Amino acid sequence: MAIHPIDNRYGTPEMRAVWSEEHRFACIVAAEAALAKAEAACGLIPARDATAIARGAKKASLARAKAIEAEISHDMMAVVKALSEVSGEAGRWVHFGATSNDMLDTATGLQLKESLALLEEKLLGLLAVLLRRAGETRGLVCAARTHGQIGIPTTYGMRFALWASEVARHLDRLREIRPRVEVGKLTGAVGTMAALGKDGFSVQEKMMGELGLGTVDISNQIVPRDRYAEYFMFLAGVATTLDRMAIAVRTLQRTEIGEVSEPFGSRQVGSSTMPHKRNPIRSEQVSGLARVVRAAVEPALQNNTLWDERDLTNSSCERVIFPEATILTDHLLAVTTGVMEGLAIHGENIGKNLAILGGIPLAEAVMVELTRRGMGRQDAHEAVRKASMEAYRRKKDLAAVLAGDREVRKSITRKELDGLLDPEKYIGTAPEQVDRVVASLSRYLPRTRGRKPKARKR
């Protein structure tokens, strides 16, 4: 019976598999096998016994380990006993020189390595979609908003390019944290390597080399949790970017704005009582679950403030936050990519919103031109401000109000005013900025290297 929504509602099969109980067990016994092989290479145990332990790791049973744990109330020692049972005489060497977290934290390192690979793949997929949509809409002029109010125009290409740039920075962060996060340890009870002595360095290096992990430079009984806290802050950063995108979709899909809409299936139901509804439920899900991912940051930081060489307060917490935050972030990336891929853009409503204030949002263009033609910048600002407020009050086009201003008419004709208040002519370098971002960020996508997404004809 499913308890957590991750079991039946949220999460991709591939990321769920990484954090499954079965795979966690497999990672732990893989770490034990790698330890035995490293110790054999250093002459500490017979090579034949290391081989037998490796064979045993393939036969070890999670069910048997759980049965032993029910008797002894120690999860890691239960794994050691279960592996020893299937390793024959070589079982005497299982876990030699190690402490529990040598195996547990090394197993976590393996899971984090797999998780980051999946997250990187999904970030790249989202980036590809955003760059394509940016290219398609590079010159699609729309109303920009600051403080929730319409400002001067921007383009949809700018919006997609901004999101793409942010996603690319997360890819950089992912690659930067890998050496600090994808690590394991074999330092013993309190980190001194006392059980292995001077051979400890060689055993640790060989063990992690076998597993494809980095090695801690120093530790106490556990991998220092600042490394893991950084991972959770990375997840929170990704989730927050996706939340930002989701909020934009939700806002722009409002009935009164109606510029975009999420994909909506032909048989999809929006409401159990209002048959007409087309709700942005995917974006709302992203915003909701992003809160859960961000909530993992605080406990992750507190897990680094353990007593002395360690206590156990991090353990129970990490059993929850590692799979939950990772699986949800992966899920949010998949959902957001689908939303961006299928996002419908409604040009008619975009045009209506551009024109809804009768040119008032283009006031800056007039102010700048008046200044260029000799009026002081502050005087120009005041003249256009007054005209804008009058246009608001009288519900008139700004051009008509400005045309009645004697000082403005000295510098700018009515025909010129109409041109200045054309939103299509006041988007600055927006298309060029989009082109630069698309060209620059395409380097992240090997299959599209050197090719720019095609711009939509307008």
Q: Do 171 and 301 lie in a common domain?
A: yes
Q: What are phi and psi of 43, to 5 degrees?
A: 75, 20
Clarify whether 315 is annotated catalytic: no
Out of 147, 266, 272, 276, the active site residue is 147
The tokens 């999101």 sit on which residue?
163
Q: Do 345 and 365 lie in a common domain?
A: no
Q: Do 151 and 201 lie in a common domain?
A: yes
Do residues 146 and 181 touch, judged by C-beta distance below 8 A? no
pLDDT digits (tens), the chain, 458 positions: 888 989 889 999 999 999 999 999 999 999 999 999 999 999 999 999 999 999 999 999 999 999 999 999 999 999 999 999 999 999 999 999 999 999 999 999 999 999 999 999 999 999 999 999 999 999 999 999 999 999 999 999 999 999 999 999 999 999 999 999 999 999 999 999 999 999 999 999 999 999 999 999 999 999 999 999 999 999 999 999 999 999 999 999 999 999 999 988 778 888 777 888 888 999 999 999 999 999 999 999 999 999 999 999 999 999 999 999 999 999 999 999 999 999 999 999 999 999 999 999 999 999 999 999 999 999 999 999 999 999 999 999 999 999 998 888 889 999 999 999 999 999 999 999 999 999 999 999 976 444 454 544 43
pLDDT, tens digit, for every residue of 13-43?
999 999 999 999 999 999 999 999 999 999 9
Out of 4, 20, 74, 271, the active site residue is 271
The pLDDT assigned to 7 comes to 86
Question: What residues make up the domain containing 69?
Answer: 11-93
Three-state DSSP class for 345? strand
Alpha-carbon distance of 158 to 137, in angstroms, equals 8
The pLDDT assigned to 407 comes to 87
CATH code of the domain covering residue 329: 1.20.200.10
Domain count, the chain: 3
- Token reading at 185: 């340890």
Our CA angle for 356, 348, 256, nearest 5°, is: 55
Alpha-carbon distance of 454 to 442, in angstroms, equals 13
- Residue at 273 is within a domain: no
Q: Do 25 and 127 lie in a common domain?
A: no
- Residue at 150 is within a domain: yes
Q: What are phi and psi of 318, to 5 degrees?
A: -70, -30
Clarify whether 276 is annotated catalytic: no
Do residues 161 and 453 touch, judged by C-beta distance below 8 A? no
CATH code of the domain covering residue 404: 1.10.40.30
pTM for the predicted model, two decimal places: 0.93
The pLDDT assigned to 447 comes to 65
- Token reading at 224: 């220092």
